[in-house]
């Protein structure tokens, strides 16, 4: 599945469609794992990703970060900090119309680290740096942001649209994992 995605342009809609097929084929197993993982924060999410990568590859990765909680906090603190700077500038300069750019700032930083968790699961020592390199090698920040933002919207809003909160979150995560597998395949082929 991931190999075939490497041959076509990456789009959020294609990734989400492929993720839905995989999620549905798990017959509730990925949903059950997600519900169990939810109470354990980033560590639970990483273990869910390990199981999902196992579904994609036929074998789960064996790598681990010293602390997935710390990895998640670092990733989202950096992205949140970028958004906070834009909001602070909007407030300090009294130009509220730039405040919505905080969302773009968040994702322009977050996208550089989009593959950090799967890289850590694959045993990469510096997953944040490796993610930045993999994003740049495959897409570049702007193109990758154009993929990440619709994935994030599907994850965050899907439940309110009647698509199920857990399902929406899982599909977004699976889409990232499919994208990661595609980026790895592209990197290997280069």
pLDDT of residue 63: 82
CA 83, 87, 93, 97 dihedral sign is positive
pTM of the model: 0.90
DSSP-derived 3-state class of residue 48 = helix
CA 173, 176, 181, 184 dihedral sign is negative
pLDDT tens per residue, range 121-173: 999 989 999 999 999 998 889 999 999 999 999 999 998 888 889 999 999 99
Degrees to nearest 5, angle at CA 28 with 170 and 45: 35
C-alpha distance from residue 157 to each of 40, 127, 165 (Å): 22, 28, 8
Average of per-residue pLDDT values in the chain = 90
User: Is pLDDT above 60 for 74?
Assistant: yes
**The token pair that represents 6 in the structure block:** 């490497």
pLDDT of residue 8: 58
Q: Name the residue among 52, 45, 57, 60 with its Cα closest to residue 2.
A: 57
User: Is pLDDT above 90 for 18?
Assistant: yes
């Amino acid at each position: 599945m991931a190999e075939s995605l490497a041959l076509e342009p990456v789009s959020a809609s294609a990734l989400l469609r492929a993720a839905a097929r995989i999620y549905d084929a798990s017959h509730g197993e990925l949903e059950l794992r997600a519900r169990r993982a939810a109470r354990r924060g980033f560590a639970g999410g990483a273990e869910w990703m390990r199981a999902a990568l196992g579904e994609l590859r036929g074998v789960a990765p064996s790598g681990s970060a010293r602390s997935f909680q710390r990895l998640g906090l670092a990733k989202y603190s950096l992205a949140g900090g970028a958004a906070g700077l834009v909001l602070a500038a909007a407030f300090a300069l009294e130009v509220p119309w730039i405040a919505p750019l905080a969302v773009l700032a968040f994702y322009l930083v977050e996208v550089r680290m989009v593959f950090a968790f799967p890289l850590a699961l694959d045993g990469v020592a510096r997953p944040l740096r490796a993610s930045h390199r993999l994003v740049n090698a495959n897409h570049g920040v702007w193109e990758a942001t154009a993929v990440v933002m619709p994935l994030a919207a599907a994850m965050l809003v899907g439940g309110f649209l009647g698509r199920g909160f857990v399902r929406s979150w899982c599909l977004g995560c699976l889409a990232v994992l499919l994208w990661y597998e595609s980026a790895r395949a592209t990197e290997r082929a280069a």
